A and B are shown apart, each in its own frame.
Chain A
Amino acid sequence: MHDHESLNDPELGQLERRLGRATWSPTPAQRERWLYACGQAAGRAQMRRRLRGAIGVAAVLGCVCVGLSCALWQADQVPVAAVNPVPTPFATNLTPAQHSSLLPLDEPVDAVVDSKRGLRVSASLAELASFDDLARTSASEVQKTPVAAERVLSAAGPLSGAL
């Protein structure tokens, strides 16, 4: 550092102090021109900073919008289960051979019971297991219940109960 080195010549030191006392001011016109320019520059800089902030906020909002749009588009791709209000006449279109293959003849009552059973949602695995046990017991009870034979009508009157 050379700033603490003093000038050896005292006359130069006095001259230095004398020069330091000399001050110059700009003219009023010059002062006004410079102040006006500084104010203009400060205003421009402030406006530029605000504009930059607004652009940043707009960019963030744009990114959020793009992200949400992508999320919505991907959500539309997932298949959603819907209830068909018109039941498909599935059984009527089948041939007897197909009907027999789809519906086993040895468990007719069970199939009827299953088709009438509504869909249920279980909250836990234990509840699901209890539903399963309940379904098995009800099916076995249905199998044990003797099915009354319908009476068959004919032109000559009701047939005998041997049928």
Chain B
Amino acid sequence: MPLAAEQVAALIERHAVPLAIWVGYREEWADDVVQEAFCRLAAAEPPPERVVPWLYRVAWNLAQTERLANRRRRSRERHAAAGEAVRDDPLERLIADDVLASLLRLDDSFREVVTARIWGGLTFDEIGKLCGTSGATALRRYRDALEQLHRILSVPCTTTNP
């Protein structure tokens, strides 16, 4: 049996935006990639054992395909579309969030490993496998990314109010 609608809705609620960050939220196709990944999850029978790492892997592969495809036509269509969609973009609103803003200032390799580790719950070996590196490299990047975030945020980590 495939996943129930409530389970898919809960996964969308919790993991959709981190997935968009994971694949590169600045790309115009990030939402489409996330949507396609969730559609494949909804249609998967039987569903994967570890859903979240599976979602990250599918989104990563789809993003790689999109990067290679370089869809200029879709970009032109997006620019010609109504401005309402741009104003409704949650990431545009969330850019005010200092955590997200700091996260988006990281390099792609650092942002990927932090997103997959913290919000996806992937192991470093899984992250390394996805990104084409080793688990040790993923761990090193994670430490460097956290140090960069710490500098960017420039707030004492003892503060509990994000």
Contact = CB atoms under 8 A, between A and B. Distances in A.
Contacts of B119: 20
Interface stretch (A9-17, A59-67, A90-98): A9-17
Interface in A1-51: 1-3, 5, 7, 9, 11-12, 14-16, 18-27, 29-31, 33-35, 37-42, 44-46, 49
Interface in B19-46: 31, 34-35, 38-43, 45
B12 A41 contact: no
Contacts, number: 118
Contact of B125 (A3, A15, A41, A46): A3
A22 B93 CA distance: 15
Given A24-B17, A38-B38, A39-B5, A18 B162 contact: yes
Contacts of A29: 88
Main secondary structure of the interface of A (DSSP, over half): helix
B16 interface: yes
Contact of B13 (A11, A14, A25): A25
A19 B149 contact: yes
A22 B115 CA distance: 11
Interface of B: 2, 5, 8-9, 12-14, 16-18, 31, 34-35, 38-43, 45, 88-90, 93-94, 97, 99-100, 103, 114, 118-119, 123-125, 135-136, 138-139, 143, 146-147, 149-150, 153, 157-160, 162
